[in-house]
Amino acid sequence: MITFRIPLNGLKTSTNLFYVGTHWSKRKELKDSILSYARVFCKKSRAIERWPVSIRYRFIFETRPLDTLNTAILAKMFEDSLCTLEILPDDSPQYVAESILEVIKQGPGKSSPADKKAPKTRPKAKEDWLEIFIIPYEFKPDN
């Protein structure tokens, strides 16, 4: 499993706001900001050995959470950034078979499972985070 943990300082936007009346230059500005964050927080630790993969996007909100599908635009932009950084060769179904969006509202004293593995440099101010988990995809037929 490959894991990335990314603070969402100033990047939090909803899919609704992104498409409703947002000028293309503002959308590009957000996409460029996300790529900058990905360059810092998504370092290629090892090659992915088996394709396709499943990617879980876990959004952890200490501030007001977005609805699950309103995080889709952020997940898409981070996935595009993973392609730009050559962590993923492409985001087509040949390489990414499944994307899972998860939203957690985190209050004081709560922690996510990845907190145990994360560096202990978490800011004290309320902060929103994105954790990205990349694992081999396994097809599970419906019974």
pLDDT digits (tens, 9 = 90+) for 2-17: 999 999 988 988 888 8
Residues in the chain, pLDDT under 70: 108-124, 143
Strands 53-61 and 2-7: unpaired
Strands 2-7 and 129-136: antiparallel
Question: What is the pLDDT at residue 122?
Answer: 56
Share of the chain above pLDDT 70, in %: 87
Indicate the helix (H) or strand (E) that contains 56.
strand 53-61
Question: What is the pLDDT at residue 22?
Answer: 84
Q: Alpha-carbon Rg of the chain, whole angstroms? A: 15
Taking the complete model, does pTM exceed 0.75, yes or no?
Answer: yes
Question: What is the pLDDT at residue 142?
Answer: 80
Question: What is the pLDDT at residue 118?
Answer: 57
Question: What is the pLDDT at residue 125?
Answer: 80
**Using CA atoms, how far apart are residues 54 and 136, in angstroms rounded to an integer?**
6
